[in-house]
Amino acid sequence: MTETSPQADTTPEPTHPYTLAALARLMLSKAHRDTAETALSRIGTQDDSSATVAPGDFVRQATELIRLAEHTQRCAVVYERERGTSWEDIGDALGITKQSAHAKFAEYVNEWDEPFDKPERRHPDGTADDRRIPYGARYAPGAAVPANGSAEKTAAGLDRWLRRHDGWADQEHPVSGSLPRYSTSEMALLVGRAAHRMRIDRLVPDPYAEADLWDYHAELQERMVYESEHGGLSLHPKINYPLEAARSRARAAALREAAGHANLRDARPARTGAATQESAR
């Protein structure tokens, strides 16, 4: 029997967020599910003779299905673009020119990109946090999760739905199992860019939020070392990861110290003219 050393930490590392491509695929999968559910509900004939059926209802139902299918097509274009598919290839798939494809779908792709490019705020891990992001990669601490749920919750729900309705879906996680997540090195780049953008986008950056970013950057540097020692990706030979982690932590500490001094200075009561004269005597 193998015993675990009391010093060994067997707690699994937390998973990183889904990539943008994963969120786009999740949006497409949900659109397919919604279309399929609607189509399934229209197959039965038991209510055809009901007095509640009005003339034109079946046409209206089919029209709703077309609307859902068109939404699914838009989601598919967004996902293709997130995967790097060219407008020319998308046009070929639709039987139209790349210019026509761009004119028809660019609006939806831009609508998808905008909250990631210019989010309302960012999390300490550098990921975008914005109400316009479908399902939300994450949500700010204390903020209510939107009614349509989080990415993790949506993926788990699609897993359950597909297992119930598709006899070929014999995997435990037929949807979420293949959705890509950021690697640790990608997260480190994301955090570094977020810290840089914080200084550019804000006239007076929040030093504590920036310090949180650099602390997390240090954790990621150390995690990359750990992963490489346990069968993960090889480290870049020219990067001193422990030194980078130490620098990031020092930067975070300096930001917090400077912010603390500024807070103390602002908290000092203003000296009146009389007090100033008394002090000068």
Mean pLDDT of 203-207: 76
Domain coordinates of the chain in residue numbers?
20-42+58-139+148-164, 184-267
How do residues 136-152 score in pLDDT, each as one tens digit?
Answer: 655 555 555 555 568 88
Note the pTM of the prediction, 2 decimals: 0.78
How do residues 216-267 score in pLDDT, each as one tens digit?
Answer: 899 999 999 999 999 988 999 999 999 999 999 999 999 999 988 776 666 6
Bridge-partner residues for 128, per DSSP? 122
**Among candidate residues 139, 77, 140, 148, the one with its CA nearest the CA of residue 113:** 77
Residue 101 to residue 90: CA distance in whole angstroms = 7
Mean pLDDT of 147-169: 85
Structure-model confidence comparison of residues 199 and 186, the more confident one: 186
- Residue 280 confidence class, pLDDT cut points 50, 70, 90: very low
Angle at 123 between CA 120 and CA 124, to 5 degrees: 145
Residue 166 to residue 164: CA distance in whole angstroms = 6
Question: What is the CA 266 to chain-centroid distance, rounded?
Answer: 37
Residue 25 CA: distances (Å) to CA of 78, 83, 135, 165, 184: 9, 10, 12, 19, 21
CB 20, CB 82: distance < 8 Å: yes
Q: Exposed/middle/buried for 185, CB within 10 Å: 0-12, 13-18, 19+?
A: middle
